[in-house]
Structure formats: structure tokens, C-alpha cells
């Protein structure tokens, strides 16, 4: 490491480190001539302030930590992309951790980011996270925390924290309403893991759409499945084995819908002729299936930007007494052939 330090510059110029520091900053009380001399030499020697030293001095880093269940999920990768962009604009760097859908690891990663003294942390709960002690502990020690997408299913008093979420219920409502409008009579829902905000929200939207249309929500058509392709497969099998199988299926997300799709193909059933199928998330894959899948676009990049924005505004300060804010990102129904009645 041939790092140039303030002292090096100071030595060469016959100045003190403090003067050099002030000359490079916006500080008043430094003559224009020294300011110029310092800047010239700094550029010439390629001086880069040591962020580690700065962080120690300022008691805060310029690092934003992010914890997601799995980077490889298209949705989370897109969110991270949005976060990274917003952070970059604001001069922050982004540190990524995966919880691997594991509550213990989530807590570990949270602690690790706190040990790194991240300025703030963005977190989306793992599938397994049922208790929020680690979040409360983090908040208690002054960590700036913002949750996104998967947040506690029930508003936990005493857990006052900013959140950026999709309007899951509205998105699910739109899908279900669309299926009703297309004339499907037996609409099933492959729900996500219970107790998770997005599962509950989407389930709620599904039920509300049926209720508002005076439809009976048949309990055998509401199946707690899961987020994965395998979950979608087993869920779909269960639905098809019913005495009266559904004529339309709304899956909690695209991977589950893909699982369902494969089962339908395997059984020789035609989409949408025999069974209509819709997902949620608008993963790249959903538009490429044959037929392409109706789904809901969640604007994941915007979720990331918005979540980062909430965090950055807290970091600016002045919001200490403002309780948890909630930003809702609007989703969009994407209608494709998988739910369009031929006639």
C-alpha cells in the first residue's frame, strides 16, 4: 500500500495536517493560495481520503447494509439494484448479506452489519423469521433500520420502523377481479407461507375480490403452499385432485406459478382452456412461457429506491421523533394469454 495521507501532503507543503484537511474541505479561513497549492498536490499524488479514518472520526460510516433472503431471486436482485443506485447517488456504498431464509443467520448478519458500523440497514425478513427480538435489539442500540417487502405480518407495537412495501392486497385484488371478469367460476389461490406479510396481503386481496362480487370463497380452493416452484407443484397437484378442480389458479408468486404450470403441462391440461393461471412478480420467465403468464409487476427497482430513500432521509437527521413511516409501492396487473378466455 502506497497510500498518500494528509500528513504526507502536509509534510511536502510545509503545512500542518489540519490546514490541509481544511483546505480540501469547504472550511473557511484558508487562503486561496494555500487552498490551490494543496489541491494541486493532492491531485498530483492521487490523494484519496481514508474512509476508515473518517468513519472512526465521524462516528459513522457511509455504508448501507442490506439483508435479503436470497440474492438469486430475481425480485431481490432487482431491489438491490435500486438500492445500489440510490445509495451511489447519495455517496453511500452498499453491503449485501443473505439470510438464506434462515432466522438465525438473519440475526447474525444483522449483528455483523452493526459491528461494521453500517450507517443504516435495509432488511427483508426471512421466511422463517417469526420473532423480532433481533430487530428490537438493533433499534435499541440506535441502528437506523428500514424494512422492505417482507415485513412483520402484524403491526407490532414497540417496533416502530420505516417500511417500503408493495400493495400486495391491491395487486392480488386486481388479479382476482380480472379472473372473475373473464368468467372463471372456480378461482383457487395457492397462498404463500402463512404469517408472512406478503402472503397475508395477497390472500386478503384475493378474498376481498371474491367477497365484493358476492362469491363464496371455497376453503378447499385456498391452499397454503409456499414461495418455491416445488410448493407450486405440490399445491397444483392437490388442487387438481379435488373432486371439483378449479378452472383458474392464482399463485402467490411467479416461481409457484411456474411449478403449477409444469404440473398442468405434465397432465396434459391446456392453459387457459382447461385451467387459467396467474402469478405475481413479473419475473422475466413469466412472459416467455407458452402461453405467457398473467402476473403483477411489483416495480422492484422502485421498492429498492424508495426503501433506500426512507433510510437516507433518516440518516440526514431531524426525523428522530417521527414514528415508523410506510411507503406503499403500487403494483401493476400484467395481463397475458394465460388468463384470457379464448371466446
Identify which range of 13-21, 135-143, 309-317, 321-329 contacts DNA by CB under 7 A. 13-21
> Binding to a copy of itself by residue 8, rule CB under 8 A?
no
Q: Does 51 bind a copy of itself (CB under 8 A)?
A: yes
Burial class (CB in 10 A: 0-12, 13-18, 19+), 159: middle
Is position 57 an interface residue for DNA (rule: CB under 7 A)?
Answer: yes
Residues 287-316 that bind a copy of itself (CB under 8 A): 288-290
59 touches DNA (CB under 7 A): yes
Torsion of CA 249, 253, 257, 258, to 10 degrees: 170
Upper half-sphere CA count for residue 193 (Cβ side, 13 Å): 14
CB 28 to DNA: min, Å: 7
Is 7 a binder of DNA (CB under 7 A)? yes
> Does 160 engage in binding with DNA (CB under 7 A)?
no
State which of residues 11, 36, 45, 54 lies at the interface with DNA (CB under 7 A).
Answer: 54
Burial of 323 (0-12, 13-18, 19+ CB in 10 A): exposed
Query: How far is 40 from 17, CA to CA, in rounded Å?
Result: 16
Nearer to a copy of itself, 48 or 330 (CB): 48
- 263: cell is 404440473
Q: Which is nearer to DNA, 8 or 247 (CB)?
A: 8
Nearer to a copy of itself, 96 or 242 (CB): 96
CA 97, CA 169: separation in Å to the nearest integer? 28
Please spell the DSSP secondary structure of 75-142, one letter per residue.
Answer: HHHHHHHHHHHHHHHTT-EEEEEE-TT-HHHHHHHHHHHHHTT-SEEEE---TT----HHHHHHHHTT
Helix, strand, coil share (%) of the chain residues, nearest 5: 45, 15, 40
- 72: contact with a copy of itself by CB under 8 A: yes
Min. distance of Cβ 245 from a copy of itself in angstroms? Answer: 23
Choose the binding region for a copy of itself from 18-26, 31-39, 73-81, 182-190 (rule: CB under 8 A). 73-81
Distance CA 38, CA 32 (A): 10
Cα–Cα distance for residue pair 47/34, rounded to 1 Å: 16
Residue 342 found at the interface with a copy of itself (CB under 8 A):
no
Distance of closest approach, residue 22 Cβ to DNA, in angstroms: 5
User: Which position has the grid cell 420467465?
Assistant: 285
Residues that bind DNA (CB under 7 A): 3, 5-7, 14-19, 21-22, 24-25, 27, 29-34, 47-50, 53-54, 56-59
Residues that bind a copy of itself (CB under 8 A): 1-3, 46, 48-53, 55-56, 59, 61, 63, 70-72, 74, 77-78, 80-81, 84-85, 88, 93-98, 111-117, 140-142, 258, 261-262, 265, 284-285, 288-290
Amino acid at each position: 500500500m502506497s497510500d498518500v495521507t494528509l500528513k504526507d501532503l502536509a509534510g511536502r507543503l510545509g503545512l500542518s495536517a489540519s490546514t490541509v484537511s481544511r483546505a480540501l474541505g469547504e472550511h473557511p479561513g484558508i487562503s486561496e493560495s494555500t487552498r490551490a497549492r494543496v489541491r494541486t498536490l493532492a491531485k498530483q499524488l492521487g490523494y484519496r481520503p481514508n474512509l476508515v479514518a473518517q468513519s472512526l472520526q465521524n462516528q459513522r460510516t457511509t455504508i448501507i447494509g442490506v439483508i435479503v433472503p436470497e440474492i438469486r431471486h430475481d425480485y431481490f436482485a432487482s431491489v438491490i439494484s435500486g438500492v445500489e443506485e440510490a445509495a451511489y447517488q447519495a455517496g453511500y456504498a452498499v453491503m449485501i448479506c443473505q439470510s438464506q431464509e434462515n432466522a438465525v443467520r438473519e440475526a447474525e448478519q444483522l449483528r455483523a452489519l452493526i459491528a461494521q458500523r453500517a450507517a443504516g440497514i435495509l432488511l427483508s425478513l426471512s421466511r422463517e423469521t417469526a420473532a423480532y427480538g433481533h430487530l428490537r435489539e438493533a433499534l435499541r442500540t440506535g441502528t437506523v433500520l428500514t424494512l422492505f417487502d417482507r415485513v412483520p405480518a402484524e403491526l407490532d407495537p414497540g417496533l416502530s420502523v420505516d417500511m417500503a412495501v408493495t400493495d400486495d392486497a391491491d395487486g392480488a385484488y386486481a388479479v382476482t377481479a380480472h379472473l372473475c371478469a373473464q368468467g372463471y367460476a372456480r378461482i383457487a389461490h395457492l397462498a404463500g407461507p402463512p404469517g408472512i406479510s406478503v402472503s397475508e396481503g395477497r390472500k386478503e386481496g384475493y378474498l376481498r375480490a371474491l367477497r365484493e362480487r358476492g362469491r363464496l370463497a371455497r376453503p378447499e380452493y385456498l391452499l397454503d403452499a409456499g414461495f418455491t416452484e416445488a410448493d407450486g407443484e405440490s399445491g397444483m397437484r392437490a388442487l387438481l385432485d379435488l373432486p371439483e378442480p378449479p378452472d383458474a389458479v392464482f399463485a402467490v408468486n411467479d416461481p409457484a406459478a411456474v411449478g403449477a404450470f409444469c404440473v398442468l403441462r405434465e397432465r396434459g391440461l391446456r392453459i387457459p382452456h382447461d385451467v387459467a393461471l396467474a402469478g405475481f412478480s413479473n419475473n422475466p420467465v413469466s412472459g416467455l412461457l407458452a402461453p405467457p403468464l398473467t402476473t403483477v409487476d411489483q416495480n422492484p427497482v422502485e421498492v429498492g429506491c424508495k426503501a433506500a430513500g426512507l433510510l437516507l432521509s433518516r440518516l440526514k437527521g431531524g426525523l428522530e421523533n417521527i414514528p415508523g413511516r410506510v411507503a406503499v409501492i403500487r403494483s401493476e396487473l400484467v395481463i397475458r394469454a394465460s388468463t384470457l378466455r379464448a371466446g
